[in-house]
Amino acid sequence: MPATFTSGTDWEQSSGPIVSWDVQEGDCWPVDDRSESGAKDQLAPGLHPLVAIGEYAAPSRPLNVCGVVMTVNLSVLGTATDRVVVNVAHGFITRQYVSNILTYSGGAPNSYEQTPQVGQPVYVDDSADLGAGVTLSMSPLNWNDVENPLAGVLSYCQDEIADGQVGGARATSTFDTALPNEATEQEFCVMLVAGFRELA
């Protein structure tokens, strides 16, 4: 289970679009203890999780805008007023860890996606069953049956598109469609989807 948020150079899988939104760390979740399940990894320079912006308690969650952290300006390490720049642009593609949990029952994972598809929805999920460095699952509800905000949809990464390699041989898609029938977390590319779900 990943213990730290996405880092490195391949978190950015498309050059755009970019709509930068300056927010405070205290408005981002799940970060640190800003989640129903307790501790998550801490935002820091060089980390690029996909987060929700707004209140993480019901009933506001489905109204949260989601985006991927671009930069973090730490005035004092770990304070709620640290400045975070988040890309909230519809259509931006980012590489992230995603849990294959589809549903929860009684506060525990109940079903799992074994054959993920391009275009499948993924949600910001603060459930305890996700690793400290994982903010996404395939479940529209968290472990307490509270609605998760829609983050985006599964997408091809740059190296998964047929014939997508510049100067290389013809290739076939390598999108992973075989996951175990148990909770697992692996890297997928996610296309941000603007908008939010209506309150139930």
Confidence of residue 195 (pLDDT cuts 50, 70, 90): low
What's the pLDDT at 199?
53
| Extents of the domains making up the chain | 20-192
Burial category of 86 from C-beta neighbours within 10 Å (exposed 0-12, middle 13-18, buried 19 and up): buried
Half-sphere exposure of 98 (CA within 13 A, CB side): 29
Greatest mean pLDDT among 48-57, 156-165, 171-180 lies in 48-57
pTM: 0.89
Whether residue 192 has pLDDT greater than 80: yes
* Residue 78 predicted with pLDDT over 80: no
Could you report the per-residue pLDDT of 120-164, keeping only the tens digit for each? 999 999 999 999 999 999 999 999 999 999 999 999 887 777 665
Torsion of CA 199, 27, 51, 34, to 10 degrees: -90
Is 172 a residue whose pLDDT tops 70?
A: no
Q: What is the mean pLDDT of residues 165-176?
A: 58
CB atoms within 10 A of CB 63: 15
Closest CA to 134 of 26, 24, 66, 40: 40
